[in-house]
């Protein structure tokens, strides 16, 4: 008895208290009860339970959220599970934000209660030896989680997944906004339905509306047949609107309407259609600035911001780097069917020192290049600060050094690709004694293409590009 977990149940309804107490005592928990927030706080001063079950709605005095706030403030380690009603969505969301461990919607089954409590208590035991650090989200998407901040985000994402509200996902480029969106979809009741992503920056502004909402024949020049939009295709599912700040303001107004009324019409149609889509929006822009400059409509922002998740840049969670390196290495090695390369302490340290402006995407590309080029020294040199960096790129390749320049990852990927290409070409030319026809055959490219590339990379007979 002494070792069984202690639970404090807080509810203003005596019948509910009695019911929960009986249920929990049958499962041999130690149960204490309180009929108000005030009473619960007094109780906590005497002894701390393993878990608190706290009713959201408690009329008179402190309500559930206020009580939760006080509890979190005084006992940050205390685990609190909220008891809510179906109609309490907003309160549940607030509770998640305030740090509630989990929530249960009344009426719940005995099994649900047991599962939530077990997870809550079990979770405590695994803090020291975190397991499940790499989660497979399907379709070759993984969620690696190796820091306190990301663990918090993971649990919030999973909780909010169940509450059918929009979520705004914020963070710099490459921090994992899409991964989080996929996770929310996966843990939501919509998981067996469609998940679609629309990148608002990638579609030209005047096409975006038809892309999202579809059109009827004759809606515009070239619209010869009817076409459903992404919202229709995604009915009952989840849509991710990426780079929402790039959506034209007029379209933002239409989106707001869909979010409010679940209604829209195709371009060129007067028929209003019903649609049930959960919207997850993402952006890497500064929201306050975007609102101030009217790039983002404030009313839309408040709609989307039912819950927001702010992903920290990689440099603020460097403790994850070793784990991420290991993960990306095995992922890339598998994809390219190559044996993984060693991740030496000096390589890991170089990665930990670097500031990763492109975040996890840059890290994953870094691992890819390291695996392809197989040169640890060069990989480390690439991460050195600008001034200290040696010349590693093919001379005359015109794509700059090996690091991330002002125009970022794209040019870096290009430069590495160019480098590898120039190297292969000069090797083929040396092998064939500069017989360009033979070299072209060897490289499986046309003679003309080879001539072009020799000029492009300025490859010379003596010593080649390096
Ligand atoms: N927690 C994570 N665990 C494992 N891989 C991750 C994680 N977060 C991101 N990645 C990987 O990093 C890359 C970038 O992630 P993602 O596309 O989600 O970033 P993003 O924030 O949407 O970037 P952008 O702003 O450029 O669209 C992807 O290859 C993704 O699989
Ligand atoms: Mg993205």
- Calculate how far, in angstroms, residue 288's C-alpha sits from the geometric centre of ligand 2: 20
Please indicate, yes or no, if residue 82 is contained in any of the structural domains: yes
Q: Could you give the number of structural domains in the chain?
A: 4
Arithmetic mean of pLDDT, 324-352: 94
Residue 171 CA, closest ligand 1 atom number: 21
| Residue 397 sits in the same domain as residue 383 | no
- Calculate how far, in angstroms, residue 239's C-alpha sits from the geometric centre of ligand 1: 17
Please indicate, yes or no, if residue 1 is contained in any of the structural domains: no
Residue 242 CA, closest ligand 1 atom number: 27
Nearest CA to ligand 1 atom 29: 361
Nearest CA to ligand 1 atom 26: 173
The model's pTM: 0.74
Residues within 6 Å of ligand 1 by CB? 141-144, 171, 173-179, 242, 284, 360-361, 364
Q: What is the torsional sign of CA 122, 123, 126, 132?
A: positive
pLDDT digits (tens, 9 = 90+) for 298-324: 999 999 998 999 999 999 999 999 999
Residue 236: domain span: 135-310
pLDDT of residue 109: 87
| Residue 194 sits in the same domain as residue 282 | yes
| Residue 158 sits in the same domain as residue 280 | yes
| Residue 353 sits in the same domain as residue 377 | yes
- Calculate how far, in angstroms, residue 169's C-alpha sits from the geometric centre of ligand 1: 12
Rounded-to-integer distance, Cα 18 and Cα 447, Å: 86
Choice from 175, 185, 199 to test ligand 1 binding pocket (greatest atom count within 8 A of CB): 175
CATH of the domain at 464: 1.10.10
First-last CA distance in the chain: 75
pLDDT digits (tens, 9 = 90+) for 171-217: 999 999 999 999 999 999 999 999 999 999 998 888 999 999 999 99
| Residue 290 sits in the same domain as residue 145 | yes
| Residue 267 sits in the same domain as residue 243 | yes
Give the ligand at the shortest distance from the Cα of 284. 1
| Residue 36 sits in the same domain as residue 103 | yes
Please indicate, yes or no, if residue 130 is contained in any of the structural domains: no
| Residue 85 sits in the same domain as residue 170 | no
Q: Give helix 408-431 / helix 447-457 axis angle, nearest 10°.
A: 120
- Calculate how far, in angstroms, residue 312's C-alpha sits from the geometric centre of ligand 1: 12
Arithmetic mean of pLDDT, 281-291: 93
| Residue 243 sits in the same domain as residue 147 | yes
CATH of the domain at 15: 3.40.50.2300
| Residue 161 sits in the same domain as residue 299 | yes
| Residue 343 sits in the same domain as residue 369 | yes
- Calculate how far, in angstroms, residue 360's C-alpha sits from the geometric centre of ligand 1: 6
* Among 442, 424, 419, CA closest to 432: 442
Q: Which of 293, 310, 327 is the last residue of a domain?
A: 310
| Residue 14 sits in the same domain as residue 85 | yes
Q: State which residues have CB under 5 angstroms from ligand 2, the bound ion.
A: 177-178
Arithmetic mean of pLDDT, 221-250: 94
pLDDT of residue 403: 46
Please state whether the peptide bond connecting residue 452 to the residue before it is cis, i.e. omega within 30 degrees of 0: no
* H or E stretch at 64: helix 64-74
């Amino acid at each position: 008895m002494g070792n069984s977990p202690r639970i404090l149940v807080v509810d203003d309804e005596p019948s509910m208290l009695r019911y929960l107490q009986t249920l929990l005592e049958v499962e041999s928990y130690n149960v204490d009860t309180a009929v108000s927030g005030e009473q619960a706080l007094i109780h906590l001063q005497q002894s701390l339970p393993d878990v608190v079950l706290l009713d959201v709605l408690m009329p008179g005095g402190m309500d559930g959220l206020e009580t939760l706030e006080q509890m979190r403030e005084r006992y940050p380690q205390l685990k609190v599970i909220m008891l809510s009603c179906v109609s309490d969505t907003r309160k549940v969301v607030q509770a998640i934000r305030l740090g509630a461990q989990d929530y249960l919607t009344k009426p719940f089954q005995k099994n649900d209660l047991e599962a939530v409590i077990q997870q809550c208590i079990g979770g405590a035991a695994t803090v020291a030896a975190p397991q499940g650090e790499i989660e497979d989200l399907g379709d070759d998407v993984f969620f690696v989680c190796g820091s306190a901040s990301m663990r918090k985000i993971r649990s919030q994402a999973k909780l909010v997944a169940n509450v059918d509200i929009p979520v705004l996902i914020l963070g710099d480029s490459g921090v994992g906004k899409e991964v989080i969106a996929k996770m929310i979809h996966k843990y939501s009741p919509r998981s067996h339905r469609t998940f679609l992503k629309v990148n608002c920056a990638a579609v030209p502004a005047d096409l975006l509306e038809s892309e999202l909402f579809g059109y009827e024949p004759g809606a515009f020049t070239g619209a010869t047949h009817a076409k459903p939009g992404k919202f229709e295709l995604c009915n009952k599912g989840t849509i991710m609107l990426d780079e929402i700040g790039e959506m034209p303001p007029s379209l933002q107004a239409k989106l707001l309407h869909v979010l409010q009324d679940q209604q829209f019409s195709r371009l060129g149609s007067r028929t209003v259609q019903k649609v049930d889509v959960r919207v997850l929006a993402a952006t890497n822009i500064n929201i306050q600035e975007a609102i101030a400059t009217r790039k983002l409509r404030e009313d839309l922002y408040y709609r989307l911001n039912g819950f927001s998740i702010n992903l920290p840049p990689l440099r603020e969670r460097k403790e994850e780097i070793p784990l991420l390196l290991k993960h990306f290495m095995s992922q890339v090695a598998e994809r390219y069917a190559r044996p993984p390369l060693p991740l030496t302490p000096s390589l890991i340290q170089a990665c930990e020192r670097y500031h990763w402006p492109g975040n996890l995407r840059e890290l994953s590309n870094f691992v890819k290049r390291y695996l392809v080029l197989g040169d640890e020294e060069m990989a480390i040199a690439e991460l050195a600060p600008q001034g200290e960096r040696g010349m590693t790129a093919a001379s005359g390749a015109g794509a700059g050094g090996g690091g991330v320049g002002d125009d970022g990852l794209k040019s870096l990927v290009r430069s590495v690709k160019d480098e590898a290409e120039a190297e292969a070409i000069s090797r083929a030319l040396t092998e064939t004694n500069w017989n360009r026809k033979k070299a072209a055959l060897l490289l499986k490219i046309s003679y003309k293409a080879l001539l072009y590339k020799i000029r492009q990379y300025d490859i010379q007979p003596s010593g080649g590009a390096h």
